[in-house]
Structure 1
Amino acid sequence: MANREALRDLQARLAGRLQAAKGEDLSVSSWLAVEAAGQPYLLPLGQAGEIFPWTSTQPVPYTQSWFLGVANLRGGLVGVVDLAGLMGQSATRTEQALADSSLLAFNAALEVNAALLVDRLAGLRSVEAFVRSELPAEDSPAYYGSVYVDAQGVRWQELDLQALSQSPVFLSISA
């Protein structure tokens, strides 16, 4: 219960900050910062949808281990993808860890009926939050954007959710 209230509070604060930035003609954040299995990612705000607290999923047989199943989010069935698992990282998924995690739906404009399981929401980020950026490695997947490095030296990988949703890796859920 407290977890849902904290999530609602975060969403309200994020919405308020976006409105204030638009009204004051300040630089608007470009990304939602998240963590999955300890790895920091930047997800473009224009491609991200609603944030939900963890809800149990109905497993789907014969699928990849990173495809957690389907969940009922606001009355619609949505495929739930473990972002860490999809990125090739292993994460311990205890009931407590899941209770502290969130589901991030894809923006409806992308026409993808899916949500990503993320371990932690780290807030909004704009380009000013970083000291430098690097192009993705040549052998990186097409959905990898630039790597942004913050003042603490943390490397944030940008993920293009539209490209991710169209990639063969994402679309091939069968085991």
Structure 2
Amino acid sequence: MNAGVNGSALAPAAARRTRLRDYQAQLLARMQAAQSGAAEAQHQLGVDIGGARYLLELTEAGEIVAPPPLAGVPLTQPWYLGLANVRGSLLGVIDLARYLDPKAAASGPEARLVSLAPRLGFNCALLVTRVYGLRRRSAMQAEGAVLRDADGHAWTPLSLAALVREERFLHVALQPRQ
């Protein structure tokens, strides 16, 4: 009887893990195809950052993980959350919502870290409020600087390559008072 109870309790968890692994494998395959140029250009990763929807280039994004425990770093900007150990690599973690808007609220349980692609040359991950998954840019209508999907949601393209060149992004240390 116990085996049946345990088996039935484990079945939904095992199914969720299997679906998550399948989703991650599918996402990884598409990201690798995008990097090799084999995928349809314009596939992007949809994320929520502080209540706004953004599109990230797949070739600029790396791994997506749940936020692990962070080691705080003193005397840094409020948006610099500290260091995370992700599969043996130390990554600096930036709360992208607070970087874009200092008054942004803290992220909830759906928050994820999106690491930057190695080609960008930064051991860094961005805390995003939520990951929506892949979006096809070609299926959206351009309205100035934003794109609108079939459901009417506005998406703003965000270049991670441009982000890592921003002077403010590069200086996480608090500036001494003069």
2:110 match: 100
Q: Normalising by structure 1, report the TM-score.
A: 0.78
Structure 1 residue 172: Cα displacement: 1.5
Q: Which amino acid aligns with 1:55?
A: P
**Are 2:164 and 1:171 equivalent residues in the alignment?**
no
TM-fit CA distance, 1:29:
4.6
Counterpart for residue 123 of structure 2: 113
Corresponding residue SS for 2:26: helix
Specify the SS of the correspondent of 2:23: helix
Structure 2 residue 154 is the aligned partner of structure 1 residue 155: yes
Count of residue correspondences: 156
**2:71 is paired with a residue of what secondary structure?**
coil
Match of 2:95 in 1: 82
Q: Structure 2: give runs of 5+ residues left out of the alignment.
A: 1-12
Match for residue 58 of structure 2? 45
SS in 2 for 1:14: helix
Name the % identity. Answer: 41
Supply the distance in 1 between the matched residues of 2:30 and 2:173 (Cα, whole angstroms).
40
CA contact (8 A) 1:101 1:117 kept: yes
- Normalised by the size of structure 2, how large is the TM-score? 0.76
1:32 is matched by which residue type in structure 2? L
User: How far apart, CA to CA, are the structure 2 residues paired with 1:19 and 1:108?
Assistant: 13
Is the 1:84–1:90 Cα contact (8 Å) retained in structure 2? yes
RMSD: 2.6
